Amino acid sequence: MKLYFTPGTCALACHIALYETGAPFSAERVDLRTKTTADGADYRKINPKGSVPALEISPGVVLTEGVAIMQYAADSVGGAGIAPATGTLERARMQEAMNFISGELHKTGYGPLFRPGQTDEARQAQLALIDGKLGWIEGLLSDGRDYLVTSGYTLADGYLFTITGWSKGFGHDLSRYPGIVALRQRVAARPAVQAAMRAEGML
């Protein structure tokens, strides 16, 4: 398997998931500006969407979209205990959290902040929107649980860690969310997370 990634993007969550499985894989960096891989190949021939991440499972078999890649890693590559069993309420709770992170935090929350030419007023409004979304997650953690799902660490936590990591670059203070800050610290200490961040040049 080969993961195509760009440092600083949501692909980190997939990188983390793959390291968590312990299964062998390689990773190749993608330049999103030129749509080329590290070896100079046209990335759009691998993933016509032109976005990362993408997982080449075998020659010519490519899976895209981070949430799909993470769950494939958990279900088909190696158990590793990073996703509850299919058909359980805990699995549905993990998917609930991942869908919220993907749609509400990732795409409509932080996503617009990456667009050039945004006014300060628009930026502040977007950060306020993010705060509202993070408030829901903080509420999940208010019962003293360590992770988003009561059964323990799952893919959703690695995904949340990745997306909320963007706050610092936008001058967004997470300290008002002690539950999220504590969760981030727990996730950051995981060997798979450290391995993924080193592989992407983030440590």
Q: Does residue 52 contact residue 5 with C-beta atoms inside 8 Å? A: yes
Distance, CA of 151 to CA of 133 (rounded, Å): 23
pLDDT at position 190, please? 97
Render pLDDT for 131-141 as a digit per residue (tens, 0 to 9). Answer: 999 999 999 99
pLDDT higher than 90, residue 194: yes
pLDDT at position 144, please? 87
Domains in the chain, ordered, with CATH? 2-81+192-199 (3.40.30.10), 89-190 (1.20.1050.10)
What is the average per-residue pLDDT within 24-53?
Answer: 97
Distance of CA 12 to the CA centre of its chain: 6
Render pLDDT for 149-188 as a digit per residue (tens, 0 to 9). Answer: 999 999 999 999 999 999 999 999 999 999 999 999 999 9
Distance, CA of 33 to CA of 35 (rounded, Å): 6
3-state secondary structure 17-52: HHHHHCCCCEEEEEECCCCEECCCCEHHHCCCCCCC
pLDDT at position 97, please? 97
The mean of the pLDDT values for the chain is 95
pLDDT at position 203, please? 83
DSSP string, 89-127: HHHHHHHHHHHHIIIIIIIIIIGGGGSTT--HHHHHHHH
Start-to-end CA span in the chain (Å): 24
pLDDT at position 80, please? 65
What is the average per-residue pLDDT within 71-95?
Answer: 89
pLDDT at position 79, please? 60
pLDDT at position 9, please? 97
Distance, CA of 176 to CA of 154 (rounded, Å): 24
pLDDT higher than 80, residue 199: yes
Q: Which of 127, 140, 126 is nearest to 180 (CA)?
A: 140
Distance, CA of 59 to CA of 80 (rounded, Å): 25
